[in-house]
Amino acid sequence: MVKTAVMVSGGGTNLQAIIDAHIFGEIKNCELTAVISSNPTAYALSRAEYAGIPAYVVDAGRHPNGASFSEAIHKKLSELGIELVVLAGFMHILGPPLVRAYRNKIINIHPSLIPAFCGAGYYGLRVHEEALKFGARVSGATAHFVTNEVDEGPIILQKAVDILPDDTPFTLQRRIMEQAEWRILPEAVSLYCEGRLEIDGKIVRIKGARSDVERGRSDSEPQ
């Protein structure tokens, strides 16, 4: 079983998707060892408590800079013997020493189809505001490995979501969460824990791909 920590900062809807998938046996060979929050008042901590997952706070506000905060995160992960880190609405950039230590062992979910609407400063509603401002017809979500370059790590899974004519940033955000993020993040975690991911530079290959999402095909494409 792969000892996994889910890192959060807010409400924890992606955490809940992981918890639900784990309960229903959709995530294989994974031990949800810890939930680690950067925010002591995050509702995600309550979700962890309800699910019986040990929860910890590494309060970003108590650290003078990002390097100190990342060092504290690294220490907690090491103490717990964590083998996979999942960023599920974690609103901080991890420092280079931590990213190097967990190379190809940190998975993030981003609410767009990378390389569109991503990079430094692209998080939360801004991603969806920019997609609508640009007149994009399609957006979606991307599960990817974390590197020191923001949102540039190898892509594991993507899922497209149509943008509707009357969408607002809020309605688009919700639909992308429901139709894409909550589906592909648990799937990416399972693929990693099953040992089915092969990384060759920027390319991630999935051994024995079974679903359309794993094959890189959206629901709207011909079968």
The length of the chain, given as a count of residues: 223
Residue 211: predicted pLDDT: 58
Does the predicted TM-score (pTM) go above 0.75?
A: yes
Same fold, 1-102 and 110-141+158-223: yes
Closest CA to 4 of 111, 101, 87: 87
Would you say domain 1-102 falls under CATH 3.40.50.170? yes
Residue 220: predicted pLDDT: 42
**Strand runs labelled E in the chain:** 2-8, 30-37, 55-57, 84-87, 106-110, 138-145, 155-162, 197-200, 203-206
Contacts of residue 8, Cβ cutoff 8 Å, sequence gap at least 6 = 14, 15, 35, 36, 37, 38, 39, 42, 44, 45, 88, 89, 90
* Separation between Cα atoms, residue 131 and residue 137, nearest integer Å: 8
Would you say domain 110-141+158-223 falls under CATH 3.40.50.170? yes
Active site positions, annotated:
110
Q: Which residues of the chain have pLDDT under 50?
A: 217-223
